[in-house]
Amino acid sequence: MKTRFHKMHGLGNDFVVIDARETPVEMTAPRAHAIGDRHTGIGFDQLILLEPSSVADVKMRIFNADGSEVEACGNATRCIALLMEGPADIETMGGTLHTEPGDASATVTLERPAFEWELIPLAMPMDTREMPVGWDALEKPAAVNVGNPHVIFFVPDCDAIDLEQLGPVIEHDPLFPERINVNVATVVSTEHIRLRVWERGVGLTRACGTGACATAVAAIRAGYVQSPVRVSLPGGDLIIEWAEGQPIRMTGPATHVFTGEADWDNFG
């Protein structure tokens, strides 16, 4: 049976969104991976499955292109905000997010970030402000969990880092038992950061909303920038607001590309 889906993106980070609130859709890792194939499927960075929620307006499940299910996705949350057509609470594995749609944009309020090593999680105790570890040119990252886990490397020029080579090495390092999202950032001024992200289970992406949040939080904690801060990714800019002990607010674009239909049984 064919059901409807939406193709959407946030700053080029693209999604297939399936609304399964009325007609349930069984989603498995192999099926998600098949749908995500850009040659034989539909193609996406993440697949978003909307389901009924008993604690919020909707439940959002997130599958990466490799089929793995993950906790949070900031860019996707802004897209779902547009579909909800009004302020909404969204249940995720990474916590409940509040969204406020705007004109082709949205603001998402994430829960308070976590910095404790066991909540990142790391395989051993260490200071997450400046971890005593390194991989080639990347050293002494900060670690932040914003609903999903991130390490952030502050470097003179983020474009000069071979993230396509180093990203998968760091993502799969035994130090990170649940793998890790890898961010390389350059502080341009106290109000501006440039950022590139290697997403676990996806690879290099044009934008990562939770990566922008984690990087802004780490930079504010280190005194490099002040809130609000503009984070520039290859796909465009996000505005991040955060103060110690408070939730994170992220504002940026979201785009509905087209609506289609598919029979998900054709994907295994």
b or e along 152-162 (b: 16 or more beta carbons within 10 Å of the residue's beta carbon)?
bbbbeebeebe
Angle, nearest 10°, between helix axes 209-222 and 74-84? 120
Q: Check 79, 158, 208, 213 and give the catalytic one.
A: 208
Say if CB 106 and CB 251 are below 8 A apart.
Answer: yes
Say if CB 226 and CB 95 are below 8 A apart.
Answer: no
Q: Check 73, 79, 158, 213 and give the catalytic one.
A: 73
Residue type, 46: Q
Active-site residue 73, yes or no?
A: yes
Active-site residue 208, yes or no?
A: yes
Say if CB 15 and CB 48 are below 8 A apart.
Answer: yes
Say if CB 55 and CB 191 are below 8 A apart.
Answer: no
Residues with a known catalytic role:
73, 208
